[in-house]
Amino acid sequence: MAGGEELTLKILVDKAQNKVLFAEAGEEFVDILLSFLTLPLGTIVRLLSMPSDSSQLEFGSLSTLYQSVSALQTKHFWTKVGKDMLLNPRNSAAAQCQKLKIDIDDTARTKYFMCPDMLNDKHAGSPLLSTLEDVKCTCGSLMNTQMELVASDVRLQESTSGVFVTETASFIITDDLQIMPNLLGTTVALLSTHGKTDTKVLEERTLKVGVEEVLNLLRGSLLSKTPLTDLVRQGPFSCNIVKSDTGKYLPRITDSINTNCRRMAVKVLVQKSTKKALLAQVEEEFVDFLFSFLTIPLGSVVSLLGGECSLRSINNLYNSLRSLDAERHIKSQDLKDMLLEPMLAQKFLCKNQILPIREVEAPTLYCVFNGPHSYLIDKRKNSPFFTMLANDLTVTPFSSLSVISALDRLNIPLGDVEEREMSIGMEEVRNWHCHNAFVGTLLM
Ligand SMILES: [Zn+2]
């Protein structure tokens, strides 16, 4: 966990209600929000039920499932690492998430182990590399020589800031986690939706966001309608639990997906009077499938449910990502696809999987033999990292909040403001000596 890192978030608050109308943020904060979609469910349960977490919230059946795995003895699993894989599932986007300003996922990084006898002729053409320690090599030795993986992709090394969204992008985030490009029109529309035409009732504040706040946001994104307001009010977590808007039942997985998938028969004991399932008698393959829920990334769940799960703020987050522009707001289409449909980490696809989810392809790794200083390199061609966009032309980052305070200073009610499109030529550009001049031009 990146300890001590902090970032600041500008928020617009309704003073009377102490309620956040929206936040204005750049790439660092939005990257963190989007990374929630890559977290496997097991990781979410683990992070939010840590002893340090005073609320000790339970996430329904998922918490029960996690506790069941945790209580089972290792002998019930195929391998000794099986249990650990479920309790500490890997994030297939871990390489990206490690670059987040605040990375709450403390799952150990992927390690690589090679056969100590790596130059032995007996290996010709057979695998001698494993992500698990002490797996038997084809030559009979145990693979226990840990190898360092060196990223050979220059772009991967150079891209120092920005993970998913472009560095120049600025966003408006509503209290229920809708993310929108930061445009004056968006802000004005949002304020009028909230009926806030008088800027006097509003106040701009700065919020410090560290590890604890990000964990609270993750929790709020799952349980609250107002995760940002919860963050401001601090106090005990309000746990404004959202009931599924669609009522008692979760939406169905679309039929087209359904018909292509394997099925598993399960015997269930049902209470006749209430039609309630009491318990099910299942084969081990079903248990295998059930446990695999812990390894599925949150974004995959939303994707399987067609963008409509029972968590409102998560739906908002997911669907705003859908409408953000790849290239302009998200660094690339590859990254956008990766977030909209996060895959399982390598080796995490259980053979009894019913759901149409995939695991990431194993990267092709090359070993550079250099005695005790041997190392691995990753020569993946289609790395989702792109060179950064040049930011030379941006002098002052655009800020909707500063526009609002400008309106306030000028005593202009928001009801009096509308968004217009204007044609900008050389002449207009010449007038943009300062931010206020630009605002002045726009409002004319
Ligand atoms: Zn070997």
For residue 305, what are the domain limits?
Answer: 7-109+155-252+283-350+385-443
Q: What spacing in Å lies between the alpha carbon of 112 and ligand 1's midpoint?
A: 14
pLDDT reading at 398 higher than 50: no
The pLDDT-based confidence of 382 (bands split at 50, 70, 90) is: very low
| pLDDT for the residue 399 | 53
pLDDT reading at 444 higher than 90: no
Joined together, the tokens standing for residue 421 give: 């499109």
Question: Taking CA 93 as the corner, what is the angle to CA 85 and CA 104, rounded to the nearest 5 degrees?
Answer: 75
Out of 46-60, 84-98, 233-247, which region has the weakest mean confidence (pLDDT)?
Answer: 233-247
| pLDDT for the residue 60 | 67
Out of 163-177, 263-277, 327-341, which region has the weakest mean confidence (pLDDT)?
Answer: 263-277
Q: What spacing in Å lies between the alpha carbon of 431 and ligand 1's midpoint?
A: 70
> Residue 41: what residue type?
L
Question: Taking CA 334 as the corner, what is the angle to CA 330 and CA 340, rounded to the nearest 5 degrees?
Answer: 75
Average pLDDT over residues 37-63: 77
Average pLDDT over residues 125-132: 70
Average pLDDT over residues 311-315: 89
| pLDDT for the residue 180 | 94
Q: What spacing in Å lies between the alpha carbon of 115 and ligand 1's midpoint?
A: 5
Higher-confidence residue of 19 and 266: namely: 19
Quick one: which of 158, 170, 94, 171 has its CA closest to 386? 158
| pLDDT for the residue 438 | 30
Residue 148 falls within a domain, yes or no? no
Of the ranges 267-271, 338-342, 374-378, the best mean pLDDT one: 338-342
Higher-confidence residue of 220 and 385: namely: 220
Q: What spacing in Å lies between the alpha carbon of 130 and ligand 1's midpoint?
A: 11
Residue 379 falls within a domain, yes or no? no
Helix, strand or coil for residue 14? strand
Residue 401 falls within a domain, yes or no? yes
| pLDDT for the residue 299 | 94
Residue 259 falls within a domain, yes or no? no
pLDDT tens digits, residue range 81-117?
A: 778 888 999 998 988 888 899 999 988 877 888 888 7
| Structural domain count, the chain | 1
The pLDDT-based confidence of 44 (bands split at 50, 70, 90) is: very high
| pLDDT for the residue 29 | 95
Q: What spacing in Å lies between the alpha carbon of 107 and ligand 1's midpoint?
A: 28
> Residue 126: what residue type?
S
Residue 71 falls within a domain, yes or no? yes
Residue 18 falls within a domain, yes or no? yes
| pLDDT for the residue 436 | 29
Average pLDDT over residues 30-52: 89
pLDDT reading at 256 higher than 70: no
Q: What spacing in Å lies between the alpha carbon of 349 and ligand 1's midpoint?
A: 26
Q: What spacing in Å lies between the alpha carbon of 75 and ligand 1's midpoint?
A: 27
Residue 276 falls within a domain, yes or no? no
Residue 142 falls within a domain, yes or no? no
| pLDDT for the residue 64 | 80
The pLDDT-based confidence of 317 (bands split at 50, 70, 90) is: very high
| pLDDT for the residue 85 | 84
Q: Which residue has the tokens 């990502």?
A: 321
pLDDT reading at 119 higher than 90: no
pLDDT tens digits, residue range 179-189?
A: 999 988 888 88
Neighbour tally for 260: CB within 10 Å? 8
Q: What spacing in Å lies between the alpha carbon of 111 and ligand 1's midpoint?
A: 18
Quick one: which of 329, 5, 385, 365 has its CA closest to 158? 385
> Residue 108: what residue type?
A
Q: What spacing in Å lies between the alpha carbon of 117 and ligand 1's midpoint?
A: 5
Of the ranges 116-125, 320-329, 378-387, 421-430, the best mean pLDDT one: 320-329
pLDDT tens digits, residue range 202-219?
A: 899 999 999 999 999 998
| Residues within 5 Å of ion ligand 1, judged at the Cβ atom | 115, 117, 128, 137, 139, 141
Q: What spacing in Å lies between the alpha carbon of 371 and ligand 1's midpoint?
A: 16
pLDDT tens digits, residue range 319-364?
A: 999 999 998 899 999 999 999 999 998 778 877 777 778 888 777 7
Residues 6+ apart with CB under 8 A from 164: 27, 30, 31, 34, 35, 96, 330, 331, 335, 339
Quick one: which of 355, 354, 319 has its CA closest to 339? 319
Q: What percent of the chain has pLDDT over 70?
A: 68
How far is 220 from 241, CA to CA, in rounded Å? 9
pLDDT reading at 367 higher than 80: no
| pLDDT for the residue 346 | 79
How far is 103 from 214, CA to CA, in rounded Å? 9
Neighbour tally for 415: CB within 10 Å? 13
Q: What spacing in Å lies between the alpha carbon of 144 and ligand 1's midpoint?
A: 10
| pLDDT for the residue 213 | 92
Q: What spacing in Å lies between the alpha carbon of 436 and ligand 1's midpoint?
A: 69
Joined together, the tokens standing for residue 69 give: 């795995």
